[in-house]
Amino acid sequence: MLQLEFRFRGNPKIAKEIEAYFPGKTAKQIRDQRKESSYKTLFETYLKGQATAADHSMDEAMDEVRDSHPADNTDMPILNPLAGEKQLKTKEKLLEKFNSLTGTT
């Protein structure tokens, strides 16, 4: 039920959504269970676990990105601010060339 609560959180009719997965329970019974302090504590613990898992996944993803690119990262403006300047100069040169060919300024 915790997974369903997490999945449907923010839905104003969450008990109705969860009811579909528990044919033996009514939405009222589910609402009553969700109101209990022991359930709320358990769900808070579940949320903390989800947040920790998400943080861990993000750390792993960032490590993969870092490991898959060369150390200088010249082609990645986010990791190398000078690359953005390089791209700007290239754009300016292309614009100058276009203007000279079309006769515009």
Distance of CA 81 to the CA centre of its chain: 24
> Could you tell me how many helices (H) and strands (E) the chain has, helices first?
5, 0
What number of other Cβ atoms are within 10 A of residue 87's Cβ?
12
Three-class SS state of 5: helix
Residue 12 tokens read as 């104003």
Could you read off the pLDDT of 39-71 as tens digits, one per residue?
Answer: 888 888 888 887 776 666 666 666 665 665 555
What pLDDT score does 48 carry?
83
- Of the candidates 7, 14, 11, which has an alpha carbon nearest to the alpha carbon of residue 30? 14
pLDDT interval class at 31 (50, 70, 90): very high
pTM over 0.85: no
Q: Please compute the mean of the pLDDT values over residues 88-93 and round it to a whole number.
A: 70
pLDDT interval class at 27 (50, 70, 90): very high
As a whole-number percent, the residues of the chain with pLDDT over 90 amount to 20
78 burial type by CB count under 10 A (0-12 exposed, 13-18 middle, 19+ buried)? exposed
What pLDDT score does 47 carry?
83
8-state DSSP, 90: H
d(CA 33, CA 40) in angstroms, rounded, equals 9
Instruction: Give the domain ranges of the chain.
Output: 1-68, 72-105
